[in-house]
A and B are shown apart, each in its own frame.
Chain A
Amino acid sequence: MSASANTGAAPAGKAGAAPVNGALTRGVTVIYLSLIVLIPLAAVVWTSFGEGIGGFLRSLSNPQAIAALRLTFEVSLVVVFINIVTGTLIAWVLVRDSFRGKGLVNSLIDLPFALPTVVAGLTLLSLYGPKSPLGLNIAYTKAAVVMALLFVTLPFVVRAVQPVLAEMDLEMEEAAHSLGASPFTTFLRIIFPNLLPAVLSGAALSFARSVGEFGSIVLISGNLPYKTEVASVFIYNQIQTDNIAGAAAVSVLLLALSLLILIGLNALNRWGRRHDQ
């Protein structure tokens, strides 16, 4: 009874797949990651504390920074809630409904992943900005920021919910119906609780993406400080005006937030899987 057969997750004696010594490949991996990701990020953290904790907190208490952060959180939360509703709805239609062109619509969902963010912002600007054929103009407003974020975060909840919905046992719903539950009640009490881990996972990813989003917002929002300037744009502006320490401080905050979300997602995924057993 061998512990290493059939799993592929443990070293299979000497017949492993690494073309060279295991330690060497591990070393290469660590060096690459350090050079590309870890050392640069460390440089940001280092710089943000360049003038000590006092300097760090001073940068953060800059009223413009606070306004940018607050705006970022606000819009990101709004976007998350909208996405939970629309994402679940779209996933539902894609899984349960059938109509001609559904495959095409399904592929469309990935467009925000494939399209450069700056182009995404422009597409919205062209239709809903000045010179809009619809007569609408939301450029330079908070609504523009929300809309841009909705565009780029569209796929997260949809793609998280779709597979779970597809695999869900229809029999559960049929049982509920036979016991007298209306479709709405069935959705609320039977379907949605089972979707919850997936929805939350998608929501967390959507939130993480929103707080850092730059390209789609920078052209469409006008970046008016205290009005439509989000954290990422604030950081950018600080860089332009050579306030590197200030930029670094807010960056570290965003970094910490990203880490928190990643950890939360990890825990969430594990919780969701426990549910399955």
Chain B
Amino acid sequence: MISRLGLRFVALGYLALLLVFPVAMVFARAFQDGVVAAWQAVTTPEALHALWLTILVAAIAVTANTVFGIICAIVLVRHRFRGRNLLDAVLDLPLAISPVVVGLSLLILYSLTSPVGAWLAQYGVRIVFSTPGIVLATIFVSLPFVVREVMPVLREIGTEQEQAASTLGASPFQIFRMITLPAIRQGVAYGVVLTTARAIGEFGAVSVVSGKISGVTETMTVFVADRFQNFDLVGCYAASVVLAVIAIGTLLLTNLFEPREDR
């Protein structure tokens, strides 16, 4: 009935129209006034600051979520305790919540008029409309990736290697460093890549919590939106190209680190 070629054509056509052509178009638009103009647009002080801020925030978020991710994976896989299922479920929340709700939650909790915000302000710590808020929001939305990638790996390797190491005299910390960590290497790497991509791409939560103060609290994604709203289309598309290139780089890395399933 429906031929194989027909199916292939429809599938590829859909992908081309939805994904490929639009992305290609962005590249075209970015360079429509020439490469120099595009370069200049992404090397303005605001643009560079946005890039720097994005990298800084992503680095902090990825580090925090990786350490947490490894610990949490161990807790979920190796420990048995009441509330384990609840913990497991809470981990999925960041993936299911709208980013603006994430931003709103931080705005409410840490605004200067809230008890927590006011208390922190006493020590000169400012969360909303400032970098710490952006960091918290980014940690929130990119939280589960390392955990979720490490858990199946931990389950698969089992505890026997660790038990063997203990009979050979290794302390619990030595076991963790020399046996557990190397074994989960790939899962961690893959999780880190996913976390990084998510952290760099965050927009909604950051928009809400950062105040979008140009040159101060703008990340790359917010910068893109800002350029768009100021009708600076070259700037907007050029910055988009930077983000798209990072995204494609991420895709390549995930292909490298994808946990191979041995059947």
> Residue A53 at the B interface, CB < 8 A?
no
Residues in B neighbouring A13, C-beta threshold 8 A: 163
Once bound together, how far apart are the Cα atoms of A207 and B59, in whole Å? 30
**Contact string, A1-18, partner B, CB cutoff 8 A, digits 1/0?**
000111111111111111
B202: min CB distance to chain A, Å: 8
Which residue of chain B has its CB nearest to the CB of A218?
B225
**Contact string, B161-173, partner A, CB cutoff 8 A, digits 1/0?**
0110111000011
Q: B172, A18: Cβ atoms under 8 Å?
A: yes
12 pairs, A vs B, C-beta closer than 8 Å: A9-B80, A12-B159, A41-B97, A97-B4, A108-B251, A114-B254, A116-B221, A119-B26, A119-B244, A128-B22, A214-B203, A258-B98
Interface hits, A21-60 → B, CB 8 Å: 22, 25-26, 28-30, 32-33, 36-41, 43-44, 47
In the complex where A115-B201, A116-B200, A116-B243 touch, is A89 in contact with B7 (Cβ < 8 A)?
A: yes
In the complex where A8-B155, A17-B159, A29-B72 touch, is A117 in contact with B79 (Cβ < 8 A)?
A: no
> Residue A208 at the B interface, CB < 8 A?
yes
Stretch at the interface among B33-41, B45-53, B87-95: B87-95
> Residue A182 at the B interface, CB < 8 A?
yes
Show the binding face of A for B, using Cβ within 8 Å.
Answer: 4-20, 22, 25-26, 28-30, 32-33, 36-41, 43-44, 47, 86, 89-90, 92-94, 96-97, 99, 105, 107-119, 122-124, 126-128, 133, 147, 150-151, 154, 182-184, 208, 211-215, 218-219, 231-233, 235-236, 239, 244, 247-248, 251, 254-255, 258-259, 261-262, 266
Once bound together, how far apart are the Cα atoms of A152 and B13, in whole Å? 17
Q: A111, B101: Cβ atoms under 8 Å?
A: no
- How many chain-B residues does the 8 Å CB contact rule pick out? 102
Which residue of chain A has its CB nearest to the CB of B105?
A40
A15 interface neighbour in B71, B157, B159, B197, Cβ under 8 Å: B159
Q: A118, B225: Cβ atoms under 8 Å?
A: yes
A108 interface neighbour in B19, B154, B172, B228, Cβ under 8 Å: B19
Once bound together, how far apart are the Cα atoms of A44 and B25, in whole Å? 40
In the complex where A111-B251, A215-B221, A262-B96 touch, is A25 in contact with B90 (Cβ < 8 A)?
A: no
Residues in B neighbouring A251, C-beta threshold 8 A: 98, 100-101, 104-105
Q: B97, A36: Cβ atoms under 8 Å?
A: no
Residues in B neighbouring A7, C-beta threshold 8 A: 158-159
> Residue B143 at the A interface, CB < 8 A?
yes
Residues in B neighbouring A128, C-beta threshold 8 A: 22
In the complex where A11-B79, A17-B162, A111-B19 touch, is A105 in contact with B92 (Cβ < 8 A)?
A: no
Once bound together, how far apart are the Cα atoms of A67 and B155, in whole Å? 46
> Residue B119 at the A interface, CB < 8 A?
no
Q: B251, A107: Cβ atoms under 8 Å?
A: yes
> Residue B120 at the A interface, CB < 8 A?
no
B77: min CB distance to chain A, Å: 6
In the complex where A11-B79, A248-B108 touch, is A232 in contact with B98 (Cβ < 8 A)?
A: yes
B79: min CB distance to chain A, Å: 5
Q: B247, A111: Cβ atoms under 8 Å?
A: yes
Q: A261, B96: Cβ atoms under 8 Å?
A: yes
Residues in B neighbouring A126, C-beta threshold 8 A: 22, 25-26, 28-29, 237
Residues in A neighbouring B96, C-beta threshold 8 A: 208, 212, 258-259, 261-262
Residues in B neighbouring A39, C-beta threshold 8 A: 109
Residues in A neighbouring B20, C-beta threshold 8 A: 108
A9 interface neighbour in B102, B155, B228, B254, Cβ under 8 Å: B155
